[in-house]
Amino acid sequence: MKAKLALWTTGMLAAAVAAFSVNVSAHSEHEGKAVKSGEQDELVIYTSRKEHLVKPLFEQYTAKTGTQIRYITDKAGPLIARLETEGQNTPADMLITVDAGNLWQASSKNLLQPVESTVLENNIPAHLRSEQKDWYGLSVRARTLVYASDRLKESDLVGYEDLADSRWKGRLCLRTSKKVYNQSLVATMIERLGEEKTEQVVQGWVNNLAAPVFSNDTKAMQAVAAGVCDVTVVNTYYFGRLQKKNPDTNLKVFWANQSAEGENSSGVHVNISGAGVTRHAGNPAGAQAFLEWMSTEEAQRIIADMNMEYPAKADSQPSDVVGSWGEFRADDLNVAAAGAKQARAIQLMDKVSYK
Amino acid sequence: MLSGQGNYSWPVTLFGLLITALILFPVGSLLFSWRDVQVEIWQHMLSTQLPELIGNTLILVAGVAVGVTVLGTSLAALISLCDFPGRRWLEWALMLPFAVPAYVLAFVYLGLFDFSSPLQGWMRNNIEGFTWLDIRTPFGVIAILVLVFYPYVYMLARGAFQGQSRSLFEASRLLGMSPWRTFFRVTLPVARPAIAGGVILAVMETLADFGTVSVFNYNTFTTAIYKAWFGFFNLQAAAQLATLLLAFIVLILMFEKSFKGQVGLSQSERQRLNKRHRLSGSKAWLATGFSCLIFALAFVLPVIQLLYWVITDALQDFDTRYWQLLFHTLALSSSAALITVAVACMIILGKRFQPGWFTSFVEKAGNIGYALPGSLLAVSVMMLFGFLDNELIIPVKEWLGLPAEQLLLGSLFALLLAYMIRFLAVALKPVSAAFERVRPAMHEAARILGHKPASVARRVYLPLVMPGLLTAMLLVFVDVLKEMPATLLMRPFGWDTFAVRIHEMTAEGEWERAALPAISLIVAGLIPVILLIRRSRIET
C-alpha cells in the first residue's frame, strides 16, 4: 500500500514534469525566434499595471498592426530592479507603470531613453510627461475627497489642507502613508507649501483620525459609509468601483482645492499611469510607435475607461460615468515633482507618526 | 563507509560548496550591502519607527509562537491520544487550513468582520449604542497567523505522538503516574523536538510575512524593509534592515537544539501507542466542539466567504485561461517539490556519511532562505542569475557566435532554483527525520550480508525513507503553490499562476475578484494535504 501510493504520486509528478518540459521546449523555440533583437513585429513589455487592464489594449494593438506583445506583470519596485540587473541584455522594450514617482525613479536610474515625438508632445500636456522626454503620462488619476453626503454638506469642505483643521477631529479616515499615492500627495504639498507648513498639515490629519489608517482606499471609503468617519481622501476610480457595486451609496466626490485664489486654489492633486522606452530596448522604433499609438484617442478610450480614470490626451473626454462626478481644475505642477520629493514626504509622514 | 570527521570526498565537497554558494548568495548580497551604509535612512528609522517596529515584531512572533504551540499541540494530543465523536474525520480536516495562504485568510476575515461587513451592519441596526469595532488589532493579526500556521505544529506533533513507543507509556503508568502526569512528564517531552521544529517553521513564516500584516496595516520589521525599498527606492537600505532579521533567525537556529531538548530516544518499531483514551460525556463533546471550532474558523468560514465572492464577483474570470493557470501552478509546484527534495536528500546523505562541521553547516545554511522576506530573497536570487547571465553566459554565447540572449533570467530553471533556495528548509526537516529511521546498524548489517551499496539503497533505504520524502515533497508542493514574489519576478513570459492572479486582483484592492484564484489555490493545495494525511495514517 505504502509503496503503491509512493509510486503513484511519483508517477504523477514525473508525468507533470514531462508534460511541461514538452510545453517549455515548444515555448523556447518561440522565444528563440522572438527575442532576436531588433525584430520589428515583437514587443516585450514590463508592466506594473494589472493584466486585466492592459491585455485588451495589447490585443487591440496586435489586431491593428500585427505586432505581437509579450509582457510580465509585477510591482514597480521589482521590475525596476530587474531592468537594472539585466542592463544592456534586457529583453524589455518598454516599462509601463503607475505613479510618476516610479517613472521618475526608473528615469533617474538611467533605465529609460528619450523619445522625440511630435505626436506625443501634441497629445500629452507638458505637466504629465518628463522634461527629459523619457516617459509620458497615459492616463490621469485624480486623488480627492470623498464624503458622507447624509452627514456633510458640500459647503463644509474645502480641500486637503483644511482637513487638518480641528473641526475635523475624529471625523477623518485615511489610507496608510505606505501607499505611494499618499506619498505623492504629500510630496507635491512640500513642493507647493514648503516642509514646515506641510508638516503642520499632516500632523493635523493624524490628530483628526477617527480610526487607524487603512490598507486601501476602498476600506477607507467603506469606513466613511459605515459612519466611522465623515470624509476621506481617495483616487476617484476606487469611488467609481464602489458606486458601480452599490449605486445608492451615501458617498459623494468633492473636488479639493478649487478656490479661485489663495491657499486652497492649487487644484485637485493628480498623478498618472505612464510609460517609457527602455534604455536598451531591442526594438526602440516599435516601442515608440506603440507609445505614440497609446496617446491617440482610440487607445486613450481603452486606457482611461477600463479603470475609470481620466485620459491624459489634452482634448480627450472622460467616460460618461467618470464625467458624472463633475468637472474640476487639476494641479498643473509637473507630476515629476512627486518623484523628486517622495523620500522627503515619507520622512515627514514618519516623523508625525502617520502610519 | 561512514568515514571519520573532516575527511570529505570530492563529490560531497563539490556539491556542498555549490549548494551552499547558491543558498548563501542571497545572504551574502545582504551582508555586502553594508559596504555603503545608508546613514540617512538609518538615522531616520532610529529616530522615528524602529523601536515600535521591533516591539511590534516581537509581540507578533511571541504571540504566534505561543498560539501555534498551544493550538497545534493540544489538537494533536486530542487526535492521537484520545477518542471522541468525529475524531476520524477531524484528524485530516484539521490539516486542511495548511492549504489556505495567510494573506487570503487575512482579507477574508476583514471582509467578514470589519466595519463594512454585513455582521457589523446588522449590529449597528440591532444593538443599542453599537457604532463600530475595529478588528485590526495586534490580537487580530496574531489570531490569523496562528490559524494558518498551527498545522505545522499539529502535523509534526501528531506524528511524534503516534510514533511513540507503547512500552514507554506503560512503564510510566506502572510506576504509578496518572494519565495526565504521564502526558506532561513522558509523552510531551518525547514529542518536544517535533513540536519545536513546527514552531520554528511557523516563526520563520511569521518573520517573512508581508501580506497579512499589510492587510491589517500592522507595521513590523518586514514592512519597514519594504518601505525602504518601494518608498525610498533604496534597495541597499532594505538589504541592511534585512540583515537584522537574518541575525535574529541565525540566533533561533543556533538555539534550535536547546528548544528541542536533550531527548534522543530511538523508537523501537512495531510497538506503537495505538490504544486511544476514550473520552466520554461532556469531555468528549468538549473535545469535538473545540476541534470543530478551529476547523470552522480556519477553513470552513473562509471557504464559504470565498465561494460567495466567486459567485457574486468573479464568475466572469472563469475562462479558458483558467486551465492554463491551473496547469502552470501544478507544473511549477510539482517540479519544484522534486528538485527541492532531491537536493535535501543529498545534503542529508552528505551529513550522514561524512559527518563534520562542513556538512552540518551546509544543512544549517539550507534553512536561511525560508525566513527572509519573499520579495527580498527573490530580488537577490534574480540579481545572482542576472549577474551570471551578463558576466558569464552572454560573453560565452557571443564567443560561440550565438545571439546575446539571457539564458537564466526568465527561464523555468532559474525560477525552480529560486523555489529550491526558498523552501529547502521545509524539505530538510522531514527528509532528515526520514533518514534517521535508517539506523547505521541496518546499513552495516546489509553490507555484511553481502549487499552492494546499490542494493542497500534499494532494499533498505528506499522503503524506509520513501514516506518521509513524500511528506517533504507534499509540503514543498503546497508552499510553492502559495508563493508569490519569486513567481512574479522570475516567471517566464506567460507563466502566470493562481498566486500571480491573486496579486493582480488584490494589489488594487479588488479582494472579491481574488476569490476565484484563491479558492482554486486552496483546492489545488487540498489534494496533497489529503495525500499527506492518508500517508501518515498508513505509516502509523
CA A184 to chain centre: 11
User: What CA–CA distance (Å, rounded) separates B75 from B70?
Assistant: 8
Q: Is the pLDDT of residue A2 over 50?
A: no
pLDDT score for A113: 97
Cβ of B412 within 8 Å of Cβ of A24? The answer is: yes
pLDDT score for B274: 57
Please, are residues A111 and A84 in contact by the beta-carbon 8 Å criterion?
yes
> In the predicted model, what is the mean pLDDT of residues A268-283?
96
> In the predicted model, what is the mean pLDDT of residues A231-243?
96
Cβ of A82 within 8 Å of Cβ of B124? The answer is: no
> In the predicted model, what is the mean pLDDT of residues B514-519?
90
Higher pLDDT, A80 or B224: A80
Cβ of B466 within 8 Å of Cβ of A2? The answer is: yes
What is the CATH code for A142-268+327-351? 3.40.190.10
Q: Would you tell me how many other CB atoms lie within 10 Å of the CB of residue A332?
A: 13
* Model pLDDT for residues B294-335, shown as the tens digit of each residue: 999 999 999 999 999 999 887 777 777 888 899 999 999 999
Q: Which of chain B's residues have a Cβ under 8 Å away from the Cβ of A219?
A: 110, 114, 116, 509
Q: Is the pLDDT of residue B157 over 80?
A: yes
Higher pLDDT, A15 or A311: A311
Cβ of A81 within 8 Å of Cβ of B383? The answer is: yes
pLDDT score for B443: 81
Average pLDDT score, chain A: 89
pLDDT score for A17: 54
The Cβ-side half-sphere exposure at B387, using a 13 Å CA radius, reads 10
CA-nearest of B493, B266, B111 to A71 is B493
Q: Is the pLDDT of residue B238 over 80?
A: yes
Cβ of A219 within 8 Å of Cβ of B509? The answer is: yes
Indicate the SS3 state at residue A171.
Answer: coil
Lowest mean pLDDT among A36-40, B189-193, B457-461, B520-524: A36-40
Distant-in-sequence, close-in-space partners of A93: CB < 8 Å, separation ≥ 6: A43, A44, A45, A277, A278, A281, A282, A283, A284, A286, A287
- Indicate the residue of B489, B509, B538 with minimum beta-carbon distance to A82: B489
pLDDT score for A298: 95
Domain boundaries along the sequence of chain A: 36-140+271-323, 142-268+327-351
> In the predicted model, what is the mean pLDDT of residues A295-312?
95
Q: Is the pLDDT of residue A332 over 80?
A: yes
Cβ of B494 within 8 Å of Cβ of A219? The answer is: no
Residue tagged 474640476 (cell numbers): A328
Q: Is the pLDDT of residue A20 over 70?
A: no
Taking CA atoms, what residue in A is nearest to B509? Answer: A216
pLDDT score for A7: 47
The answer to whether residue A226 neighbours chain B at the CB level (below 8 Å) is yes
User: What CA–CA distance (Å, rounded) separates B192 from B198?
Assistant: 10
Cβ of B134 within 8 Å of Cβ of A217? The answer is: no
pLDDT score for B539: 52
pLDDT score for B361: 84
Domains of chain B with bracketed CATH:
39-99+140-223+284-313 (1.10.3720.10)
pLDDT score for B247: 84
The answer to whether residue A22 neighbours chain B at the CB level (below 8 Å) is no
Cβ of A85 within 8 Å of Cβ of B382? The answer is: yes
**Confidence band (pLDDT; 50, 70, 90) for A37?**
very low
Cβ of B124 within 8 Å of Cβ of A77? The answer is: no
Query: Nearest 5 degrees, angle CA A15-CA A20-CA A26?
Result: 135
Q: Which of chain A's residues have a Cβ under 8 Å away from the Cβ of B507?
A: 50, 75
Using CB atoms and an 8 Å cut-off, which of residues 60-119 of chain A contact chain B?
70-78, 80-82, 85-87, 89, 91, 105
Please report, as a single letter, which amino acid is at residue B86: G
**Confidence band (pLDDT; 50, 70, 90) for B404?**
confident
The answer to whether residue A37 neighbours chain B at the CB level (below 8 Å) is yes
User: What CA–CA distance (Å, rounded) separates A128 from A335?
Assistant: 6
* Radius of gyration, alpha carbons of chain B: 24
pLDDT score for A252: 96
* Radius of gyration, alpha carbons of chain A: 23
Higher pLDDT, B181 or A112: A112
Q: Is the pLDDT of residue A38 over 70?
A: no
User: A36-140+271-323, which class in CATH?
Assistant: alpha beta
Between A and B, how many CB-CB pairs are < 8 A? 183
Q: Is the pLDDT of residue B109 over 90?
A: yes
Average pLDDT score, chain B: 84
* Model pLDDT for residues A165-204, shown as the tens digit of each residue: 999 999 999 999 999 999 999 999 999 999 999 999 999 9
Ordered DSSP codes for A87-154: GGG---SEEEEESHHHHHHHHHTT-EE----HHHHHHS-GGGB-TTSS-EEEEEEEEEEEEETTT--G
Q: Which of chain B's residues have a Cβ under 8 Å away from the Cβ of A51?
A: 496, 504
Q: Which of chain B's residues have a Cβ under 8 Å away from the Cβ of A86?
A: 386, 389-390, 406, 409
Higher pLDDT, B208 or A186: A186
Chain B interface mutation, best of A80, A350, A353, highest count of B Cβ atoms under 10 Å: A350
pLDDT score for B21: 84
- Indicate the residue of A13, A78, A218 with minimum beta-carbon distance to B509: A218
Cβ of A91 within 8 Å of Cβ of B463? The answer is: no
Quick one: what percent of chain B has pLDDT higher than 90? Answer: 23
Q: Is the pLDDT of residue B275 over 80?
A: no
Crossing angle of helices B412-436 and B188-208, in 10° steps, is 170
Q: Is the pLDDT of residue B237 over 80?
A: yes
Q: Which of chain B's residues have a Cβ under 8 Å away from the Cβ of A213?
A: 217
Higher pLDDT, A329 or B13: A329
What residues of A form the annotated binding site for Fe cation?
A: 237-238
The reported pTM is: 0.86
Quick one: what percent of chain A has pLDDT higher than 90? Answer: 79
Domains A36-140+271-323 and A142-268+327-351 fall in the same CATH topology: yes
Crossing angle of helices B188-208 and B50-81, in 10° steps, is 140
